[in-house]
Structure 1
Amino acid sequence: MKKIIFSLLILTSIGSLAQVKLGLKLAPVITANRAKNDAQTIENDGSKMKFSVGLIADKSFSETYFLSTGLIYLPKHAAFRSADNTVEEEYKLQYLQIPLGLKLFTNEIAPDVRPYIQIGSGLEIKVFDEPEDPSYVTIEEFTPVDVPVILGAGIEYRAGINTTLFGGFSYQRGLINTVNEAAAGFEDLQIRNTVLSIDLGVKF
């Protein structure tokens, strides 16, 4: 917790020194995964709704180009089952995400309203993992980091001189296998995360 607070303070200091627009984001997310093994006997096992929250920071290069980053708490899950349904397991995962990307704005489509698209990546640091059931033994250790591709779009509305509201959606596709070590017979198990996010927030 101290590290999280320290990181937030650093971002706040950067915002004041470099005239970065700071904001808060709350995002309902649908988290799923892409599970497989070499023998193709492992399948995905559904998705879950969770909530993500964090601090964002947008640095302007021009009226239409912004560098976007932040510090986001992002919960996920890893769920899989065997094709014959003899194995069915689910694990809770929690990450701190440091996104880095570009926001590209169009001209105003209405007074104080501008659409944007976002493209980027980031670093996700795992801070927690836990099986839903203590009897689950397939995944012994998860990979400590993940790197996603992030694509998004949305709309910003300038509600005042220093206040901007935004809403949009993003698609995040994890590139790294989150399984670092698995039990005998599952050494080739691979799980990569997928997140669909509804991004809502305010910038000051």
Structure 2
Amino acid sequence: MKKFLFLLIVLSAFGSQAQIKLGLKLAPVIAANRAKNDAQTVENDGSKMKFSIGLIADKTLSDTYFLSSGLVYLPKRVAFRDVTGTIEEEYKLQYLQIPATLKLFTNEIAPDLKGYLQIGSALEIMVFNEEEDPSFTTIEKFTPIDIPVILGAGVEFRAGINTTIFGGFSYQRGLVNVVNSAEAPFGDLQLRNTIFSIDLGVKF
């Protein structure tokens, strides 16, 4: 957590020097994953609600195009079960996400209100992982990074000269198998993250 706060301070200082619009984002997320193996004997074991928080930085490219990045704390969950229901395992993962997305804004759809579409990707660095039950033994090692595709949409409302409030939603589809190594009989287990997010925040 101390490292996270330090990075937020560094990004804030950089933003003020580079005249980048900075903000804070709080996002309830639904964390799930896609599970499979070659024998098709595993499946996803549901989803859970979690909360993400972080600093965002939007740089103007034109009146309607913005480059959006930042530093976001993003908790995830991977869980799988075999098709017979005899094995069920759940793991908690935590990442620091550095997004690199493009925001495309509409003209005003109401006074001081604009819509936007967002598309891009991110680098996610795993900072913590934990088994929900200490008896779990299948996953021996996790892949330390993930790279998701990010698609989103929302609206921004200019609430003052220097204040903008935004709300929207996004879909993040992880491309990397989070399982680096696993024990038999699931040595070829593949788990990829899926995130549905409600994005709420303010920019200054």
Q: TM-score, normalised by structure 1?
A: 0.98
Structure 2 gaps of 5+ residues are none
Count of paired positions: 204
Q: Secondary structure at the match of 1:109?
A: strand
Distance, in Å, in 1 between the alignment partners of 2:54 and 2:9 is 13
Matched residues in 1 for 2:84 and 2:186: separation? 15
Q: Does 1:15 align with 2:15?
A: yes
Aligned twin of 1:162: 162
**1: CA distance between counterparts of 2:165 and 2:155?**
8
Q: CA RMSD in A?
A: 0.7
Q: How does 1:175-186 map to 2 (within 5 A)?
A: 175-186=175-186
Residue of structure 2 equivalent to 1:121: 121
- Aligned counterpart, 1:147: 147
Q: Distance in 1 between matches of 2:127 and 2:54?
A: 15
Aligned residue type for 1:64: T
Worse-superposed segment, 162-171 or 2-11:
2-11
| Alpha-carbon shift at residue 2 of structure 1 (Å) | 3.6
- Verify: 1:74 aligned to 2:74, yes or no: yes
Q: Does 1:201 align with 2:195?
A: no
Q: Which runs of 4+ in 1 moved over 6 A?
A: none
Tell me the SS of whatever aligns to 1:16: helix
Task: Please report how far the alpha carbon of residue 160 of structure 1 lies from its aligned counterpart in structure 2 after TM superposition.
Answer: 0.2
The 5-angstrom pairing of residues 9-48 of structure 1 reads: 9-48=9-48
Q: Is there any run of 5+ residues in structure 1 with no aligned partner, and where?
A: none
User: Does the residue aligned with 1:194 lie in a helix, a strand or coil?
Assistant: strand
Q: Return the alpha-carbon distance in structure 2 between the equivalents of residues 41 and 118 of structure 1.
A: 36
Partner of 2:109: 109
Letter in 2 for 1:18: A
SS at match of 2:107: coil
CA offset at residue 9 of structure 1?
A: 1.9
* 2:95 corresponds to 1:98: no
Query: For structure 1, which segment, 55-64 or 4-13, has the greater mean C-alpha deviation from structure 2 after superposition?
Result: 4-13
Separation (CA, whole Å) in 2 of partners of 1:80 and 1:146: 18
User: What's the offset of the Cα at 1:6?
Assistant: 2.6
Measure the CA separation in 2 of the matches of 1:14 and 1:59: 12
1:1-12 correspondence runs (5 A): 1-12=1-12
Give the aligned partner of residue 190 of structure 2. Answer: 190
CA distance in 2: counterparts of 1:46 and 1:5, whole angstroms = 32
Q: Distance in 1 between matches of 2:48 and 2:3?
A: 28
Q: Which segment drifts farther, 105-114 or 181-190?
A: 181-190
- Aligned AA for 2:71? L
Structure 2: which amino acid aligns with 1:172? Q
Once the 2 structures are TM-superposed, how far is the Cα of residue 157 of structure 1 from its aligned partner?
0.1
Give the counterpart letter for 1:93 in structure 2.
Answer: L
> Quick one: distance in 2 between partners of 1:63 and 1:39?
52
Q: Which amino acid aligns with 2:125?
A: I
Partner deviation per Cα, 1:141-187 (whole Å, 9 max, x = no partner):
11100000000000000000000000000000000000011012211
Q: For 2:136 and 2:19, locate their aligned partners in 1 and report how far apart those are by CA, in whole Å.
A: 49
The TM-score normalised by the length of structure 2 is 0.98
Distance in 1 (CA, whole Å) between partners of 2:48 and 2:185 is 27
1:133 corresponds to which letter in structure 2? D
Three-state SS of the structure 2 residue aligned to 1:8 is: helix
